[in-house]
Amino acid sequence: MIDHLSSYSVKNFIPFIDEVYFRLFERHFEKWWPAHPFMLALGIAIIVLAWMGKTRVLAVALTLPLIFCAVTFHFLLYAELTLLGKYFGWAFLLQAALLLLWGFSAKPSGKGKLSVSSLLGSAIAVFGIAVYPFLVFSEEGTLKGAQYLGMSPDPTICFVLGILLMAARPVWFLLLYPIPFLWVAATAGTLDTFNIPQAMTLPIIASIALIGAIITALTRKFFSKD
C-alpha cells in the first residue's frame, strides 16, 4: 500500500496541462481589459496609504484586488479546471474579511516609520505590481498571458504580503499569513509540475516576509517598550 502511494506525485492531482492553465490568464486578460491599469493605480495608492498609516482605508482598499481575483479568476475560471478554484475563491474572500477585521480593530502601526519591515514590505509590494507580471508567460510570450495584481492570484498574494509587512503589527501579520501560505504552496506545486523555473519565486517571497515579521516581533519584544 505504501509503495503504491509513493508512486504518486503532485502531477497526479493536477487535472489539466500547462497550456490549459496559462490560457486562463489570457482569457482573463481578454475579458477584463482595461481593468489592469486601474488595478496598477490602486496598487500604487495602497502603498501610499500604507506609508501614511491610514489603516482602515488601507484595509478596505486591500480587499478589492483579493475580492476581484476571487470572483473573476478563481470562481469564474480556475473552478472550471479543479475544485481548488472554488475553495480558493472562498479562501480569498475570507482573507478579505480578515483584512477588514484587522483594519477596524488593530492599533495603527504608525505613519511613515522607516524600518526593515516597512522597507522590505515596500520592496515586496512593488515587486508584486511591477515585476511579477513579467515573470511567467504563456508559450506565446504575450502580455495577455502575464499575471497582474487583482487579476491573478500570485502577484495579488505577493502584494498583500508586502503591504501587511509594511503596515500590520507582527502578531496581525502572523494571523493573516495562513491563507496566503496555502496559495503559495498550491501555486508552487502547480508551477513545479509544469517545470516552470519561477516556481519557487512566491515561496521565497513569502518566506522572506514571514522571517521579516518574526524578526520585527522579536526586536520589538526585546528592544522596545511599545
Q: pLDDT tens digit string along 32-49? A: 988 889 999 999 999 999
Which residues, 6 or more positions from 133, have their beta carbon under 8 angstroms from its beta carbon? Answer: 143, 146, 147, 148, 155
Average pLDDT over residues 106-115: 66
Higher pLDDT, 68 or 215: 68
* Residues 46 and 54: beta-carbon distance below 8 Å: no
Higher pLDDT, 179 or 82: 179
16 vs 12, 72, 128, 194, CA distance in Å? 10, 19, 26, 10
pLDDT number for residue 223: 42
pLDDT number for residue 19: 77
pLDDT number for residue 143: 64
Residue 4 has pLDDT above 50, yes or no: no
Residue 56's CB: how many other CB atoms inside 10 A? 15
CA pair distance 168, 162, nearest whole angstrom: 10
Q: Return the DSSP state at 140.
A: T
Average pLDDT over residues 15-42: 86
CA pair distance 92, 102, nearest whole angstrom: 15
Higher pLDDT, 14 or 211: 211
Residue 76 has pLDDT above 90, yes or no: yes
Which stretch of 28-37, 129-138, 160-169 has the lowest confidence by average pLDDT?
A: 129-138
Domain locations in the chain?
A: 17-223
Query: How does residue 168 score in pLDDT terms, banded at 50, 70 and 90?
Result: confident
- 4: burial class by Cβ within 10 Å (0-12, 13-18, 19+)? exposed
**The pTM is what?**
0.88
Average pLDDT over residues 134-138: 65
Residue 2 has pLDDT above 70, yes or no: no
**CA atoms within 13 Å, Cβ hemisphere of 35:** 16
Quote the crossing angle between the two packed helices 153-167 and 116-126, to the nearest 10°.
Answer: 160
CA pair distance 153, 208, nearest whole angstrom: 18
Query: How does residue 94 score in pLDDT terms, banded at 50, 70 and 90?
Result: very high
CA pair distance 122, 10, nearest whole angstrom: 33
* Residues 75 and 86: beta-carbon distance below 8 Å: yes
Range picked from 3-7, 11-15, 107-111, 221-225 for highest mean pLDDT: 107-111
Q: Return the DSSP state at 13.
A: G
pLDDT number for residue 196: 83
Mean pLDDT of the chain: 85
Residue 207's CB: how many other CB atoms inside 10 A? 13
pLDDT number for residue 71: 96
pLDDT number for residue 221: 57
pLDDT number for residue 202: 94
3-state secondary structure of 152: coil
